[in-house]
Chains A and B, each alone.
Chain A
């Protein structure tokens, strides 16, 4: 079946570096993508989203890139801080399907001071 997945389960970076978290999706009908951040013992928080008619979207210190050709999504975090340490999930909504997103397994980001 088609699924959302992540390339790296754990990513370790130094404080101040840029972080890139990747996500592969296989359903070409997906048209809306969301990144969530989940801190330990808490629920996921919305970070940023992107629709399939866009290639790039920027927020505060975060950028999401969408490559529909290779079905790849990435989250870039600039000047990573210890407070960015968390698990990051990507999720997709499928065009014409239900509005319920499909979640990937998550990537754990560890920021070393």
Chain B
């Protein structure tokens, strides 16, 4: 079945460490997104990409980086500059036009050791 796969499901980060969250989709979607979700909160956009080798900052990009070398992959790196990284991270994809819903992965929960 087509879908979005995020890994790992749980991740722990040590002080000063960069960690990378994986997101792979086989839906042939052009657009991919990363969101951060904190307890009791909605989704906040970190980065998005409309096409391979191009990406744009979202509302809370500081302390994060992404790459889009392949259409199906959009990894997110949480750098040591992100001082409050503990959250639930969600990756999504969609057909690149207005009026289309997003498809989400099942998330990665990141915690600090």
Contacts and interface: CB of A to CB of B under 8 A. Distances in A.
Contact of A43 (B58, B101, B104): B104
A45 B43 CA distance: 13
Interface stretch (A59-67, A76-84, A93-101): A93-101
Contacts of B33: 100
A99 B100 contact: yes
A89 B103 CA distance: 14
A104 B42 contact: yes
A105 B97 contact: no
A93 B107 contact: no
B100 A105 contact: no
Contact of B43 (A41, A42, A89): A89
Nearest to A43: B104
A41 B90 CA distance: 11
A101 B1 CA distance: 25
Interface residues of A, number: 23
A95 B41 CA distance: 25
B100 A42 contact: no
B16 interface: no
B54 interface: no
Contact of A32 (B43, B45, B98): B98
21 contacts: A31-B98, A36-B101, A43-B6, A43-B106, A43-B107, A44-B43, A44-B90, A44-B102, A44-B104, A46-B102, A46-B103, A49-B101, A51-B99, A93-B99, A99-B31, A99-B94, A99-B100, A104-B42, A105-B40, A105-B41, A106-B42
Interface of A: 9, 31-32, 34, 36, 41-46, 49, 51, 89, 93, 95, 99-101, 103-106
